[in-house]
Structure 1
Amino acid sequence: MPVTDVTTDAENLTMTVVADLAAPVERVWAAYSDPRQLERFWGPPGWPATFTTWDHAVGGRAIYHMTSPQGEKSSGAWEFLAIEEPHRFEVLDSFVDDDGTPLEGFPAMRMAFSFEASGDSTRMVTTSYFTSAEALEQVVAMGAIEGAKMAMGQLDAVLQDLRDYAQGKGTRVELLDDTHVRITRLVDGPRELVWRAHHEPDLIKQWMLGPDGWEMTECVATTTVGESYRNSWAPVGDTEGEPFGFEGEVLLIDAPRRAVTTERMQGMPTQTLNDLNLYEEDGATLVTVLIEYPDLETRDMILATGMADGMEESFARLEREVLSPTRS
């Protein structure tokens, strides 16, 4: 987690975030001046950002929206007040509607970003200035502090080359809080094919099998919001275990970037929210699954089943059976 300190000052009407980043100043500046890189970390997990306008000049504007797993949108805009590459920039950050018009009743704030070299690393200080104590309190009450920490927690993956960051590290599980788990796995193949492998039955059946000794007996897939999917498995030969399956509904599709679904074991009422995101760089795709559990007990129970190990065996099979043949 790169954030080392977050402080609010009611007297001076400021909120300050300090982060230590394992990258030189120029690399950090590049991440903040490229909308495609900003999209990977500006929104907190579960609310990724999409920048639709980008005029990176003093007086220019950037307009973005963040989208929840249920498809709700929260939109904002930056007006660039100062740009001093690669050490600082300032923006006026406002809540806006779909047309980019500032929303009444929501506070605007001036944000100053500074980047200072510390050896091969960078100390970033972001100071937000508010017009009143009420505006500061409103933003804090909306979760700005926790949101900033979680959003910045995604920055390490952006600052490193994707292969350096994730290749060879297998399936990684991060406990974000009591009910949210982030699972990441780099697979050696293009995003378009990885997307198809998650949504086309003929491809799904080739790799989404978990440990050896199981077969997929049913695969109903869809990329239509509101429709249902259903996958079932059964042991083969001498493999011990009982047949089981998962089903759910599609909540959001942004092909080939993002898919959000509910998931529950067939015949059980408890369900999770699964937010799949795919990002490609240099011919490899980072698969990120953000899972929201109903409570801590359910989270720990499901993780204890060896879910991550089964996912790793499936991802390895995805590379071996689906992605490798396309490169031969």
Structure 2
Amino acid sequence: MSGIRSVARGIGSYLPANVVTNADLAARIDTSDEWIVQRTGIRQRHVAAPGEFTSHLGLKAAERALAAAGLAAADIDLIVLATSTPDQTFPATSATIQAELGITRGAAFDVQAVCSGFVFALATADAYLKTGAFQRALVIGAETFSRILDWEDRGTCVLFGDGAGAVVLEAVETDAAKGRGVLTTHLRTDGRHRTKLYVDGGPSSTGTVGHLRMEGREVFKHAVGMITDVIVDAFAATGESAESIDWFVPHQANRRIIDASAQKLGIAPEKVVTTVALHGNTSAASIPLALDLAVRDGRVKPGDLVLLEAMGGGFTWGSALVRW
């Protein structure tokens, strides 16, 4: 039986040139490389330069994804950007990227689900493509979290970095049993936990941007259980399993969360793509950054079954199973 699937045509990513190591942070605050690595697995992160905005990062990732797909910007009629750090309150940062790409048709909008943002954006674009409303979409995750960090708070400032990743999706008539594309997505939100990971500012409340605040132990406690929830649902919806997937590309927040989640699900360590050491937690950008690296180094190949998952402030969490 055939049907419309959202098939990945290309992927790209971008990291700012400025690298901040754990040693750099240890020179500024009371921390150490050993402390950070032991608790998080992070060794460095990239920080956007002054005047380098979320739209700049997202644009570069989008251009690389288009080049990988062999498509022109004019071939795109939908942009869904996941970000919690927009250039401005409005217009949507996706509109800026659309204009810079020279696209004058279709739609562009942002989604905000914090670290789960890319999975939410992927699910949104997939839903639109399958209806026939649009033909090709740019799904982007881009963040400049360095702009909302309290650089005196060693519990949070060591965790996050800036970056962007993008995937080109195309609506394709394909074999529903064996064809490539997005097979299933599962999204969740539980707002009762919103104060465990949040920013203490906003246009409607304080009139300021604010800083990121987190109850680290509480986030860790909930993360593994919530992550496995939506992955079990993905397996149930498709008949796939931890054994049948080729790659697990989780949100890159913390190495201990990644390892614990894979172990609980029975996913073999050699199937897990881990890049948190290289760029820390880049929120909505982390999954496409990790996926792009695995595609470029030859691990993820066309036809591979790839499991994506993320959890973020809200709490939000979600999964996507994609035949690459």
TM-score by length of 1: 0.26
More relative contact order, 1 or 2 (CA 8 Å, 6+ apart): 2
Give the structure-2-normalised TM-score.
0.26
Identify, as 1 or 2, the structure richer in strand.
1
